[in-house]
């Protein structure tokens, strides 16, 4: 297909779609993570060594959430970045730390659950708080090393410094595609295989055992469902469409057009909105970890329903009085 028949790319879709999503995630994410971390610290001793990973998961979420207001301003101003290239790179770096840090800590939680259920006698008393802290530091270091090369790619447009690309401009898109594929393999695909292997074995062990506590089975199944939700909604579409969109940009640079380029671009922007939802969905891990936190949530929801009911009754009474 020649260049004259290239489909128009709906670049304005990003400015319409992402700001409302970012605003919603910012509000819900801050409230959920703030409340979740407060509950986590209150129930620190009850949750065991895995709470260190949950704490780091929450901190990674908050780090990213604090950058969202700047991105909202950027997209509302029709892709005009006014905060400087250095802060643009810092903002994108925080996103990568959150994304791959979340995947890393979810992997650690899964491995700990696997060891506690499948090999309880081997690890009893051998995994301490110090081990969890050391592993957490290692996760942060590995994620930082993986994300650091992204900082050296140009994030602005060719003729202007107003852009703030989440990948890079068209000059370096071929190199970025290679980097992105390797990043996807090490930062996403390998952790996904580890998580699937851990929970696949856990489910087999729990199904074969008749002496396993029913509550333990329920908690494991709940966490598995949470992880399936996170990966299906947030992580898998993002990584697939990110690399597919980069490939489409490489083809366009080579004047090779594909009819699906615009569809891939729009789907890619939707996946960017979905992947940031992980900062609002990760607190579900807090809920899974403690029955006390679940009880607090049920009380909070009950109070909210009562408040809404009282408000509705009051509004009805005022309406009836005004018509009398």
pLDDT tens-digit map of 260-303: 888 999 999 999 999 999 988 888 776 665 544 445 545 545 66
Q: What are phi and psi of 73, to 5 degrees?
A: -60, -40
Strand ranges (E), the chain? none
- 85-118 and 129-151 helices cross at what angle (nearest 10)? 150
pLDDT of residue 127: 79
pLDDT, position 141: 96
The closest of 66, 60, 14 to 269, measured between CA atoms, is: 14
DSSP string, 201-264: HHHHHHHH-SSS-HHHHHHHHHHHHHHHHIIIIIIHHHHHHHHHHHHHHHHHHTT---TTHHHH
pLDDT in tens, 177-188: 999 999 999 999
CA–CA gap between residue 257 and residue 176 (Å, rounded): 20
Give the mean model confidence (pLDDT) for residues 251-261: 85
pLDDT the model gives residue 304: 56
Which pLDDT score, from 0 to 100, does residue 39 have? 76
Sign of the CA dihedral with 201 first, then 207, 213, and 217 last = positive
Q: How does residue 26 score in pLDDT terms, banded at 50, 70 and 90?
A: very high
* Token pair recorded at residue 188: 């996403």
pLDDT value of residue 291: 47
81-95: b (≥16 Cβ within 10 Å) or e: beeeeeebbebbbbb
Q: Spell out the domain ranges in the chain.
A: 3-289
Average of per-residue pLDDT values in the chain: 83
User: Position of tokens 């993986």?
Assistant: 146
3-state DSSP of 308-323:
HHHHHHHHHHHHHHHH
CATH assignment of 3-289, among 2.40.30.10, 3.20.20.70, 2.10.210.10, 1.20.1070.10: 1.20.1070.10
Percent of the chain with pLDDT strictly greater than 70: 80
Res. 241 pLDDT band, cuts 50 70 90: very high
Rounded average pLDDT over 316-321: 56
Q: Is 80 exceeded by the pLDDT of residue 174?
A: yes
Residues 51-103 have pLDDT tens digits of 888 889 999 999 999 999 999 999 998 888 999 889 999 999 999 999 999 99
- Asked if 219 and 134 touch (Cβ cutoff 8 Å), the reply is no
Say what the pTM is: 0.84
Report the alpha-carbon distance of residue 286 to residue 41 in Å, rounded.
11
pLDDT at residue 139, rounded to an integer: 96
Higher pLDDT, 236 or 320: 236
pLDDT at 324 over 60: no
| 292 against 237, higher pLDDT | 237
Mean pLDDT across the stretch 237-256?
92
pLDDT of residue 189: 95
């Amino acid at each position: 297909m020649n260049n004259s028949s290239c489909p128009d790319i709906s670049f304005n879709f990003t400015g319409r779609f992402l700001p409302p999503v970012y605003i919603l995630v910012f509000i819900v994410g801050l409230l959920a993570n703030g409340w979740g971390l407060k509950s986590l610290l209150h129930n620190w001793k009850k949750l065991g060594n895995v709470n260190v990973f949950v704490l780091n998961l929450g901190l990674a979420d908050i780090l990213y959430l604090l950058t969202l207001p700047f991105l909202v301003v950027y997209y509302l101003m029709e892709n005009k970045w006014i905060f400087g290239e250095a802060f643009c790179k810092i903002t994108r770096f925080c996103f990568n730390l959150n994304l791959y840090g979340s995947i890393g800590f979810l992997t650690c939680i899964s491995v700990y659950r696997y060891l506690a259920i499948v090999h309880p006698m081997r690890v009893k008393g051998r995994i301490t708080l110090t081990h969890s802290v050391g592993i957490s530091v290692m996760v942060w270091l590995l994620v930082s090393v993986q994300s650091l090369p992204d900082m050296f790619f140009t994030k602005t447009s060719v003729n202007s410094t107003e852009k703030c690309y989440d990948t890079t401009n068209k000059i370096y898109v071929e190199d970025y595609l290679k980097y992105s594929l390797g990043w996807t393999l090490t930062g996403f695909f390998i952790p996904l295989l580890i998580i699937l292997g851990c929970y696949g074995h856990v489910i087999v062990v729990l199904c074969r055992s008749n002496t396993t506590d029913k509550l333990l089975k329920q908690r494991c199944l709940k966490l598995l469902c949470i992880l399936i939700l996170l990966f299906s909604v947030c992580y898998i579409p993002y990584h697939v469409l990110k690399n597919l969109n980069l490939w489409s940009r490489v083809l366009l640079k080579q004047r090779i057009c594909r009819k699906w380029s615009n569809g891939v671009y729009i789907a890619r922007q939707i996946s960017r909105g979905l992947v940031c939802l992980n900062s609002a969905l990760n607190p579900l891990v807090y809920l899974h970890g403690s029955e006390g936190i679940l009880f607090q949530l049920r009380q909070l929801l009950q109070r909210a329903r009562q408040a809404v009911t009282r408000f509705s009754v009051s509004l009805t009474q005022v309406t009836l009085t005004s018509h009398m």
